[in-house]
Amino acid sequence: MKIWNSYGSEHSLNIVIIGRFKEEHEAEAFEKLTDKVTRFLNDNSEFDVEADRFDRKTLDFLNKENLFSLTPQQLVHLLYDVHVSRHNKEIHINSDDDVNAFISLLIHKGAKVEVFSAHDYPEN
């Protein structure tokens, strides 16, 4: 008889990302941008979540929005179960998944970014 011991790490990240902008209108613009990109991805039947290159329609959309900092793999993060909310000059993002696309977008748009686990800092 063989006995096998194993350990798994199947747990949620419960990650919190806070982006702080200098001006409230910048946070509002970021919120609108993520909504717009998410709507586009949901409506674009050509977008392939497994692709390592952008299709022409997605590439044209990103070019129009002046978004050049995301890879196809990161763009998929906007389709994950993510809660985005705005509080004055701050954007709060909560997710159980690795959503580093939001970090890239926040930095690209000029935010100061803080990332932490809500498991370790539940009061935030």
Q: How does pLDDT run across 79-116, given as a tens digit for each residue?
A: 899 999 999 999 999 999 889 999 999 999 999 999 99
Is residue 95 one of the residues assigned to a domain?
yes
Position 55 in a domain:
yes
Work out the pLDDT band at 16, boundaries 50, 70, 90.
very high
The residue type at 120? D
pLDDT at position 12, please?
Answer: 73
In a domain, 74, yes or no: yes
What pLDDT does 110 receive? Answer: 96
State how far the Cα of 39 lies from the Cα of 121, in Å rounded to an integer: 31
Written as six digits, the tokens of 105 are 């977008």
Residue 10 vs residue 87, higher pLDDT: 87
In order of 92, 103, 105, the CA distances from 121 in angstroms are: 14, 19, 24
99: in domain: yes
Structural domain boundaries, residue 121? 51-124
> Each residue of 43-87: pLDDT tens digit?
987 888 888 899 999 999 999 999 988 899 999 999 899 999 999
